[in-house]
Amino acid sequence: MGKHFGELAKIRGVISYKLSPHEQRAYAGAISSGLPNIFRRFRESVFKWAPPFIIGYLVYEGIESEHHRRSRKNPADFENDQ
């Protein structure tokens, strides 16, 4: 009746091994090697992405405070109004 997807071509000389999902240990070594690896990778990459975010935040805060200061009304302009 035809071949299914994955059986369409026969490739010679390629060996593939499969392990049943029921036999795998999904979290093997997650605490002993995974957590230290997360901290190491964070420590190595934080200096690449943190400065642009900090500079961007400081620029944003400065522009917002300047906009707020300039958009306020000057009380001295309205002293003699009735």
pLDDT value for 57: 98
Q: Is residue 65 part of a domain?
A: yes
| Model pTM above 0.75 | no
Q: Label residues 36-45 b or e (16+ Cβ within 10 Å = b).
A: eeeeeeeeee
Domain residues for the domain of 67 are: 30-72
DSSP 3-35: PPTT-SS--TT-------TTT--TTTTIIIIIH
pLDDT value for 59: 98
pLDDT value for 15: 81
How far apart are the C-alpha atoms of 38 and 35, rounded to whole Å? 5
pLDDT tens-digit profile, the chain (82 residues): 677 777 777 778 888 888 777 777 878 888 888 899 999 999 999 999 999 999 999 999 999 999 999 999 888 888 888 7
Q: Is residue 25 part of a domain?
A: no
Q: Is residue 38 part of a domain?
A: yes
Q: Is residue 18 part of a domain?
A: no
Counted domains in the chain? 1
Q: Is residue 62 part of a domain?
A: yes
Q: Is residue 56 part of a domain?
A: yes
